[in-house]
Amino acid sequence: MMNIIKEQANDFLERTNDYNWQYNDYMGKVNSKLYDFRKDRYKIEFIEFLMHSFKKKGEKHEKKCKDTLTCNESKFYRQILFLLTEELEEIKKSTDEDPFFKSDKSEINDKLDEILAQFQTLKNGQEIIYEDLSKELNAMKEYFFLDRKTWSQLFIGKLTTMVYSGVITQTVSKEIVKMIEEGYTTLIS
């Protein structure tokens, strides 16, 4: 199932592609669209998708542009990215939700991959246990749409289930929690 916010962002980009390099007018349309979302995390996801899209378009344009400093299209991409970044920071500052941001997702994904790499030695002779651990940790990467508290509760639940079913020991479970907490002391508490 396609992410609804991504789908709405794609629709928005298609409907508003007549920006004529007027970044202030375009931001008015963005702000108007943001009122459609009740939750800050949806607004954040929407803006991040727009930023990603404009960054790609800007990079593509720069490759063929002869003068990126005076070109209206180049200026539009610089300005719109700046204004979207400002809007994003403002929403993040005022949000009472505790969502995962793009950088958080990336860092936690790296941590989960690091955990799997450290337990790669389990794979020799114990493929089933390693595969189960790998499957569960990789599944956690799909749940970043949850807020931090719910995600951490699910993570602890998965660890508990793996200990109970004999996939990992309690010692291994504690090591995994310790590794995750190294960068995110408030994530699991």
Are 151 and 175 found together in one domain? yes
188 in a domain, yes or no?
A: no
**Is residue 101 within 8 Å of 91, Cβ to Cβ?**
no
* Helix or strand holding residue 183 (H, E): helix 170-183
Are 11 and 71 found together in one domain? yes
| Domain-ending residue, one of 74, 94, 114 | 94
88 in a domain, yes or no?
A: yes
Q: What are phi and psi of 64, to 5 degrees?
A: -110, -10
- pLDDT at residue 117 greater than cutoff 80: no
Are 79 and 21 found together in one domain? yes
Are 27 and 69 found together in one domain? yes
Are 130 and 60 found together in one domain? no
155 in a domain, yes or no?
A: yes
Are 86 and 106 found together in one domain? no
**Is residue 43 within 8 Å of 30, Cβ to Cβ?**
no
189 in a domain, yes or no?
A: no
pLDDT at 33: 92
The string of pLDDT tens digits covering residues 126-155 is 555 677 778 888 888 887 777 777 788 888
Task: Enter the tokens of residue 86.
Answer: 């400002």
pLDDT at 136: 83
- pLDDT at residue 188 greater than cutoff 70: no
Nearby residues of 55 by Cβ (< 8 Å), 6 or more positions away: 77, 81
**Is residue 156 within 8 Å of 188, Cβ to Cβ?**
yes
Residue 188 vs residue 64, higher pLDDT: 64
44 in a domain, yes or no?
A: yes
Residue 158: closest CA among 147, 99, 143: 143
Are 90 and 138 found together in one domain? no
- Total residue count of the chain as it appears in this document: 189
157 in a domain, yes or no?
A: yes
- pLDDT at residue 2 greater than cutoff 50: no
Are 86 and 135 found together in one domain? no
- The confidence band for 34, taking pLDDT boundaries of 50, 70 and 90, is very high
- Domain containing 141 equals 102-183
Task: Enter the tokens of residue 148.
Answer: 């931090």
| Domain-ending residue, one of 70, 94, 118 | 94
- pLDDT at residue 125 greater than cutoff 70: no
Are 154 and 135 found together in one domain? yes
154 in a domain, yes or no?
A: yes
| Domain-ending residue, one of 94, 118, 134 | 94
Mean pLDDT of 173-181: 77
Are 107 and 179 found together in one domain? yes
How many domains are contained in the chain?
2
Q: Tokens 């995750």 label which residue?
A: 180
* Helix or strand holding residue 154 (H, E): helix 148-164
